[in-house]
Structure 1
């Protein structure tokens, strides 16, 4: 794919996300989640090697299939291949969804409705929000938006730019497995080790590029100071 075709394809995926938002029904990740749970049930053991095997079986075949189908469609018709790639990217990013989750928090805070703001932020963070004051509600929402700006948008674009649809699928599935298995609990301490570490590796460079982008588009010096102090 040429640089021009890549740019148009990425723009197409972003426009689809802006127009349609996250699919409300039958999102492919729902089916992937079911498959991942089945794999976990079948392969789980308190061993890292089992987690590595489960990750490989869950992610690599689907990523390879996405790349192979893109290649085949592109050979047949670049237009069809580009449309397919844009559709895959659309399913891998969630910028509109991120805004739809964050704006109710901002609107409630601006209206001085703390209880509504707490309820809204509780839908995007895992912590207990009932005791948070307005400043902490705003901080929790901001932290979630900043992190998910990398996870749900920038990193998927980054891996799509490098590897096409296969890269976007690889990243999104890896990120999903980290959310499912990447916990330091008795069940996942070893089994989920690969999912957590691979997701860290895939996010290492995109996260830093995201932070630099935030700094470039915002209050640069303050943003860089916060990045150094708070990561």
Structure 2
């Protein structure tokens, strides 16, 4: 039974996510976000040298993550049996967002398919930082498709990976670091140096899950194109983890992503990823399906590895 516990936790956490989704109130990530916002205002309030800003950022990451990490370790050590199983299930459920990812993606795909560009723009503005009012239909679809593929790595597969590797401490630490990067990892005057520690730590924790996600997309889509895009296009992307994920995902779907995109600061020239087909409502739906099928593949692998371990132990 102990050998199958991680598989059971993953299944039940995904069931909870499918039935309930993200909690509308009192979500721990929201509370954590408020806490670190106050922390950042305290430690990053006055201009200083780059070294001072980096040091303040390191201290902020330490203060934001270590207390919760120690609590997660204490819970994992002190609890046992069914209680531990239940706590692990809730922790993983709160970290993953497969249903939310699908809902946000389809909220763009549906009006786009119906020809309602304004509603599609409004919906995509909720999940990307692009200047949605300047996007045409293909641009809206590309932005939503990219968001689904990238968040599949951050909000689904990375959480599963870190739970399987390190239990509650692993999944809690990853979710905290990923949140810090989302809030502080900007390359602007305020966060260029202060947010560097959070960004680098997020890159480190996301390195393996991102490549496993890229491999998952490759296996479940157009394998040859996905592998070629991953190998040739990913190194051109400015993010070491988003590059492989989006390049492999775009290739797997044979859809063209990347390219010039309007942001509030101006048009950002980005490398082109993927195949030759323009993004559309269909590509958004296909990206959602790709992530869902990837979850089934991961569960199958975890089941197979667990079963093999069970057989070896009882020989």
1:20-59 matches, within 5 Å, as 20-44=20-44, 46=48, 47=52, 48-59=54-65
What is the Cα deviation at residue 199 of structure 1?
0.4
Deviation at 1:224, TM superposition (A): 2.1
> Superposed, which structure 2 residues align to 1:61-210 within 5 Å?
61-74=67-80, 78-210=81-213
Report if the CA contact (8 A) 1:13-1:89 is conserved. yes
Question: For residues 15-37 of structure 1, what are the alpha-carbon distances to aligned partners after superposition, in whole Å with 9 as ceiling and x for unaligned?
Answer: 11111101111101121112112
> 1:63, 1:12 → 2: CA distance?
23
Aligned-partner Cα distance in 1 for 2:63–2:17: 29
The Cα offsets for residues 126-167 of structure 1, whole Å up to 9 and x where unpaired, read as 101122222221111110000000011111111111110110
Structure 1 unaligned segments of length 5 or more: list them. none
Contact 1:150 1:207 (8 Å CA) reproduced: yes
Alpha-carbon separation, structure 2, partners of 1:141 and 1:36: 28
Give me the whole-angstrom Cα distance separating, in 2, the residues matched to 1:189 and 1:206.
25
- Equivalent residues of 1:67, 1:164 under 8 A apart: no
Higher relative contact order (CA 8 A, sep 6+): 1
Kept in 2: contact 1:71–1:81 (CA 8 A): no
Does residue 60 of the first structure (1) align with residue 66 of the second (2)?
yes
Structure having the larger proportion of residues in helix: 1
Shift of 1:226: 2.8
For residue 133 of structure 2, give the secondary structure of its aligned residue in structure 1. Answer: coil
CA–CA separation in structure 2 for the residues paired with 1:161 and 1:27: 23
> Bigger radius of gyration, 1 or 2?
2
Quote how far apart the aligned CAs of 1:39 are: 1.7
Residue 105 of structure 1: how far off its partner (Å):
1.3
Q: Does 1:212 align with 2:212?
A: no
Question: 2:127 aligns to what SS in structure 1?
Answer: coil
Q: Residue 99 of structure 1: CA displacement? A: 0.6
Find runs of 4+ consecutive structure 1 residues off by over 4 angstroms.
none
Distance 1:224 1:134 in 2: 28
Q: Is the 8 A contact 1:125 1:140 kept in 2?
A: yes
1:164 partner SS: helix
2:7 is the alignment partner of 1:7: yes
